[in-house]
Amino acid sequence: MNLKFYILNIFLLVLSVGASAQTFTLQGRVTDDKLNPVELASVQVVKQGKATLTSLKGEFSMQLQSADSVEVKFSMIGYKTKTRVLRNPRGKQTLQIVLSEDDQALGEVTVTESRRQTTQTQELKKEDMKLAPSTTGNAVEEMIQSQAGVSTHNELSSQYNVRGGAFDENSVYINNVEVFRPFLVRSGQQEGLSIINPEMVDRIGFSTGGFAAKYGDKMSSTLDITYKRLRPEGTRKSVYEGSLSASLLGSSAYFGLGTRKLSWLNSVRYKTTKYLLGSLNSTDAEYEPSFLDYQTYLSYEPSKRWRIDFIGNVSDNHYDFTPHSRATSFGTLENVKSFVVYFDGWEKDLFRTYFGSLSISHRFTERTSLSLIGSAYNTREQERFDIQGQYWLTQTETSENLGVGTYFEHARNYLKANVASVKLMFQHKSRRHEIEAAATFKHENIRENSVEYEMRDSAGYSVPHTGQDLYMIYSLRAQNELKANRVETYLQDTYRWQSGGSDEAEGDEEETPPTLYTLNYGVRFAHWNFNRETIVSPRASLGIIPSWNQNATIRLAAGLYYQAPFYKELRDTSTVNGITYATLNQNIKSQQSIHFIAGYDQAFRMAGRRFKFTAEAYYKLLSRLVPYSVSNVKVVYYGDNESSGHAAGIDLKLYGEFVEGTDSWISLSLMNTRMKLNGKSIPLPTDQRISLNLFFTDYFPGTERWKMSLRLAYADGLPFSAPHQELESNSFRAPAYKRADIGMSYLAYQTPHTSALTSHMSFIKRVWVGVDCLNLFGINNVNSYYWITDVTNHQYAVPNYLTDRQINARVQIEF
């Protein structure tokens, strides 16, 4: 009996010791090199499937299983990842982790912990645009076009619509300076290179609504670009990087140099879409597009207190077009029509822009700074064409002539614009607050001299035909000058706090992480002396990381947003004796949009790979709208506040490692828009009811030298009507836009790490060669319509198709 009792006690003692050795508590604090807490850093034990985030104080605590060795990984975007291995951990283990900044952390395509989105601006990974198939050469905008809530219907254009908004409702910033696009561009063929240079980009912030007060008076979205600064690591005194690339669509050269005090980036880009435009369906023409730009970014830090930044850009874009003939078949299988045109004439366009910004910043402390930023934008634009066409419209089955005639299109449009601004910006960071305030003064000077007309002669009659008067079907004259000053100020704060969590844990219970809150709130004020209007825009957003699920984020946002009128919205038209005159409306007011947004993010693992699911519902109450029509990428406004309406929808996105080691995503957007115009309820011109985008990357089995990128897009067709008619007559809807692009890239050379100092090619880092198949399935997407009117005033819509299937070869050398 005593022996049994003794054995039982030993057994229970072993069990108790084993149970106590099974788990242990890991706690500690994560800081940067200056011992500042690194908040929301990821603490992971991959083998046990455990992960947590640091608090606002940089602290963490988690319950883990004991083992011979436990590997803990600490990571945060912008910092070098650190790994600690614990040997036979027991009881409570405390770690003090210091993460060092990593200027080169974004150089490779790897899936690492990214900054948690707790505001309405998501941070996109610049690596996702690398080696992807491209038609415009504007990689940043093409990545934006595939995001949830964003759509495009033209692969030749880098412009995009966001949640029912027009192209002009999207603001773009580079290093805290707002940048502009040319004004007269009417088609994707005329578009050159974007001012955003992908080689210089460090961070990409994008918001589809509910954005902070620091971003300007636009109603739909904001794109915030930060250029990189090169810095040497360790004991090195300098560092350099560069690349050379060439393809059938253009070429580019980039070189960057960095020292302890200086960072200098330079890039030259050339783009020609002649090869791509040659695939435009049904049109025989001579295309001579030529787009060239040079950009530099110089950052000089003479001391720890002072920093000077300069960005300069020169862009010279030419588009010459000589059409010869066109043959288009359209209709249904039972009702096929043929449209044949023989042309005579030409088009010559010029878009030459200059942009520069100079910033002088003084850092009072590590957390407080004051910056003075000056910028200037200048553009000179010319659009000239005289094109005559003789056409035949035939019913294919019966060979019946439905329309025979001639049309003549003429334009002499000239525009010069100068926009200069001075901005004073203050920033201060404390443990819980990030305060930012700024005041901006802008001077705008735009001069326009435009003459356009179109004549149509059908079966010997000028259209429109009254029997008495001779009118052009369209005639426009505009001679205007805008001189105005704009004052803008804002004040915003990002306040972070936490509640509950470890302070409430008792005894040996597993500690519960706190609930983390991020509140961004602010107000924006603007005054424009042209229409004597003052607007006030309050905005707020709240992000919550709940204690019960630290892989989830709940986001709420609301705000009053304005679309401050600029030159395009001002142009009001009136028709006298068949001629339309465009003048500037000084009584126009800012369009208004009230945003209500609710979002949910969920990070999770599946098959050992990371994923993030995002859902966001929105409702935008629109008022004081300026109605507009869209043809290709040209937006024509009514010039007066005549309507109101709404836009509502839901955006879904799944992002992650569909294939291990690469990033992919799929997005789905559903939307409904309406506006009231002259007592009639109609959809907005950008009423895209559904859009679906997929970006997928993969490696060939057994090797990482071969990489594949696939881009799929489906966008519902937009409403439209015959040209030069009231917007209320939008009774048609274009076919859906469907497109697939695929690219194959091969890593032909990579410097071996072991021989990097001895190889005669040691200065070359990588050599990529690739081939893209653009419009893989050869789908005839409709961009716009040309309208034929016979003498009985019956109209026929002839589709203008976009590019056909095309192969592009490319090579890129990195050093």
Q: What is the 3-state secondary structure (H, E, C) of 234-293?
A: CCCCEEEEEEEEEECCEEEEEEEEEECCEEEEEEEEEECCHHHHCCECCEEEEEEEEEEE
Cis peptide preceding 464, ω within 30 of 0 = yes
Res 793: pLDDT = 66
Q: What is the DSSP letter of 145?
A: H
**Residue type at position 616:** E
Please state which of the ranges 147-151, 578-582, 710-714 shows the lowest mean pLDDT.
Answer: 578-582
- How long a stretch of residues is the chain? 815
Could you count the other beta carbons within 10 Å of the beta carbon of residue 23? 15
Structure tokens at 240: 């350099």
Structure tokens at 518: 């991020």
User: Do 524 and 489 meet the contact criterion of CB atoms below 8 Å apart?
Assistant: yes
Structure pTM? 0.85
What is the DSSP pairing of strand 664-677 with strand 680-682? antiparallel
Could you count the other beta carbons within 10 Å of the beta carbon of residue 606? 9
Cα–Cα dist 566/178, whole Å: 14
User: Do 662 and 109 meet the contact criterion of CB atoms below 8 Å apart?
Assistant: yes
- pLDDT tens per residue across span 567-624: 888 888 887 777 888 899 999 999 999 999 999 999 998 888 889 999 999 999 999 9
Cα–Cα dist 58/750, whole Å: 38
Cα–Cα dist 95/74, whole Å: 11
Res 7: pLDDT = 46
Q: What is the DSSP letter of 13?
A: H
Is residue 329 pLDDT above 90, yes or no? no
User: Do 346 and 312 meet the contact criterion of CB atoms below 8 Å apart?
Assistant: no
Which residue, chain included where needed, has tokens 């590997």?
Answer: 71
Cα–Cα dist 527/487, whole Å: 5
Of the candidates 258, 267, 240, 266, the one whose C-alpha atom is nearest the C-alpha of residue 300 is 258
Structure tokens at 500: 């509950």
Tell me the HSE value of 678 on the side-chain side, using a 13 A CA sphere: 7
Cα–Cα dist 209/461, whole Å: 51
Structure tokens at 282: 């049904």
Instruction: Report the DSSP beta bridge partners of residue 105.
Output: none
Could you count the other beta carbons within 10 Å of the beta carbon of residue 10? 10
User: Do 339 and 787 meet the contact criterion of CB atoms below 8 Å apart?
Assistant: no
Structure tokens at 126: 């610049």
Please state which of the ranges 225-229, 503-507, 684-688 shows the lowest mean pLDDT.
Answer: 503-507
Instruction: Report the DSSP beta bridge partners of residue 239.
Output: 258
- CB within 8 A of 159, min separation 6: which ones? 141, 152, 167, 181, 191, 633
Res 768: pLDDT = 93
Tell me the HSE value of 431 on the side-chain side, using a 13 A CA sphere: 10
Please state which of the ranges 108-112, 159-163, 741-745 shows the lowest mean pLDDT.
Answer: 108-112
Res 113: pLDDT = 42
Tell me the HSE value of 370 on the side-chain side, using a 13 A CA sphere: 3
Alpha-carbon dihedral angle through residues 192, 195, 196, 200, given to the nearest 10 degrees: 110
Q: How many helices (H) and strands (E) does the chain have?
A: 4, 46
Q: Between 582 and 472, whose confidence is greater?
A: 582
Which residue, chain included where needed, has tokens 């023989």?
Answer: 342
User: Do 751 and 762 meet the contact criterion of CB atoms below 8 Å apart?
Assistant: yes
User: pLDDT averaged over the chain?
Assistant: 86
Cα–Cα dist 338/392, whole Å: 8
In which region does residue 806 sit, left (phi positive, over 0), alpha (psi from -120 to 50) or beta (all else)?
A: beta
- CB within 8 A of 548, min separation 6: which ones? none
Confidence of residue 792 (pLDDT cuts 50, 70, 90): low
Burial of 718 (0-12, 13-18, 19+ CB in 10 A): buried
How many angstroms from the chain centroid is the CA of residue 231?
Answer: 27
Of the candidates 741, 738, 742, the one whose C-alpha atom is nearest the C-alpha of residue 781 is 738
Instruction: Report the DSSP beta bridge partners of residue 392.
Output: 340, 404
User: Do 39 and 20 meet the contact criterion of CB atoms below 8 Å apart?
Assistant: no
Could you count the other beta carbons within 10 Å of the beta carbon of residue 19? 9
**% of residues, the chain, pLDDT over 90:** 52
**Average pLDDT in the 703-720 region?**
90
Q: What is the DSSP letter of 569?
A: H
Is residue 248 pLDDT above 70, yes or no? yes
Burial of 587 (0-12, 13-18, 19+ CB in 10 A): exposed
Is residue 47 pLDDT above 90, yes or no? no
- pLDDT tens per residue across span 350-396: 999 999 999 999 999 989 999 999 999 999 999 999 999 888 888 88
SS3 791: coil
Cα–Cα dist 786/285, whole Å: 17
Confidence of residue 463 (pLDDT cuts 50, 70, 90): low
Cα–Cα dist 815/810, whole Å: 17
